[in-house]
Structure 1
Amino acid sequence: MTEPIRGQTFRHEDWYGDELADREYVDCQFFDVDLTESVTRQVSFTNCAFGNVRFNASRHTDSAFLRCTFRRCNFFEAEFSGCKLVGSGFEQSTLRPLTVLGGDWSFVGLPGADLRGVTIRGVRMREADLTGANCSDALLVDVDLSGAQLHSARFTGCDLRGSDLSALDPTVVERTGAIIDAGQAVVLAQALGFEVG
């Protein structure tokens, strides 16, 4: 990997369809940058701020966005595979349809996010903030949600099979039609105070 790019501000850049690989950005700011259909491989962003950035149809593989902030960004049809977004936060961003396959999204802030119909598989989301998030009709399969903040989240019609639901209080979420497996049913029954015999 080349020397890190530190403290730079990128404004009104056109990176449409660009392929970025083996780069590192630290404490950088990106405003009104077009990353539509761009591809990143093993690119690292640490403590970076993204404002009005278009990630539409972009593909990210084994890249990292650590402690980054995304404000008013668009992730329409974006895909993240094996990426780390630990400690990053999303505000007023369009996150659907979005696909996340593997990786670590622990401590990610998604309060109130519209995640209807997104696909998230095999992702670590420990202690993520999904307070009030709308996960209706989403696939949250084999996701580690241990310690996650899920109060007032909507899981109507959501496929939650294989996910860690130990932090889920069934009484404070919308759950009509949510799909779980037998092991998860036992966990939720115990959370409601039932003895499973």
Structure 2
Amino acid sequence: MADPIEGGQFRGEDWYGEDLGDRQYVGCEFVDIDLTEATSTGATFTDCVLSHVKLNASRHTASAFVGCTFTRCNLFEARLVGCKLMGSTFRDCDLRPLTVDGGDWSFVTLAGADLRGAAFQRVRMREIDLSGANWEGGTLTDADLSGGVLKGVRFTRCDLRGSDLTALDPRDAALDGAVITPQQAVVVAQALGFELR
């Protein structure tokens, strides 16, 4: 594994298509970096700040962005497989259409995020903040949303099959056309105060 780079500052660099491999960054700052079509396998970014970073069409496998802050970053058509993003925050980022398969997004802040058409499956998302997020027409299947903040979330026409919806208050979410399983319908009915017999 590569030696960690700590406290580095990277500005205005062109890393287009670069293979980040298993690099380690700790407490680093990335500003105006072009990582379009970049790849990583086992790379780690810990407590880093990424601002105006282009990650569009990038591919990341078993990599980690833990406790990071993403501000005005572009993840258009990015794909993350088995990645850990615990405790990270996204602000004013382009996340459409982001694809995520597996991994841990617990304690992530995506408040107000535009996730229309995003596809997440088999992701651990405990205590995630999706307040005011718009996931219209997307996919969020087999995800663990337990303890999440879902106030004002828009799941219109979203495929939610297999996800934990125990934290969802259907009176404070847009759910028109959302797809759920019969088992999930029971959870939603109980949240509305129905007594099932």
Say whether the fold is shared (TM-score over 0.5): yes
Q: SS state of the match for residue 184, structure 1?
A: helix
After TM superposition, give the deviation of residue 2 of structure 1 in Å.
Answer: 2.0
**What is the match of residue 146 of structure 2?**
146
Q: SS state of the match for residue 108, structure 2?
A: coil
**What is the match of residue 177 of structure 1?**
177
**What is the match of residue 103 of structure 1?**
103
Q: Which runs of 4+ in 1 moved over 2 A?
A: none
Q: Could you list the per-position Cα deviations for residues 37-81 of structure 1 after superposition, in whole angstroms to 9, with x for gaps in the alignment?
A: 000110000000000000010000000000000000000000000
**What is the match of residue 118 of structure 1?**
118
After TM superposition, give the deviation of residue 96 of structure 1 in Å.
Answer: 0.3
Distance in 2 (alpha carbons) for counterparts of 1:92 and 1:28? 20
CA RMSD in angstroms comes to 0.5
After TM superposition, give the deviation of residue 157 of structure 1 in Å.
Answer: 0.3
| One-letter code aligned to 2:196 | V
Distance in 2 (alpha carbons) for counterparts of 1:48 and 1:134? 26
Distance in 2 (alpha carbons) for counterparts of 1:63 and 1:42? 4
Q: Could you list the per-position Cα deviations for residues 107-165 of structure 1 after superposition, in whole angstroms to 9, with x for gaps in the alignment?
A: 00000000001000000010000000001011000010000100001011000000000
**What is the match of residue 38 of structure 1?**
38
Distance in 2 (alpha carbons) for counterparts of 1:49 and 1:165? 31
Q: How is 1:14-29 mapped onto 2 (pairs within 5 angstroms)?
A: 14-29=14-29
Q: Could you list the per-position Cα deviations for residues 7-56 of structure 1 after superposition, in whole angstroms to 9, with x for gaps in the alignment?
A: 00000111100111121100000000000000011000000000000001
| One-letter code aligned to 2:16 | Y
Distance in 2 (alpha carbons) for counterparts of 1:149 and 1:22? 33
| One-letter code aligned to 1:83 | C
**What is the match of residue 6 of structure 1?**
6
| One-letter code aligned to 1:19 | D
**What is the match of residue 165 of structure 2?**
165
Q: How is 1:67-106 mapped onto 2 (pairs within 5 angstroms)?
A: 67-106=67-106
Distance in 2 (alpha carbons) for counterparts of 1:182 and 1:172? 21
| One-letter code aligned to 2:15 | W
| One-letter code aligned to 1:74 | N
Unaligned runs of 5+ in 1: none
**TM-score w.r.t. length of structure 1:** 0.99
Aligned length: 197
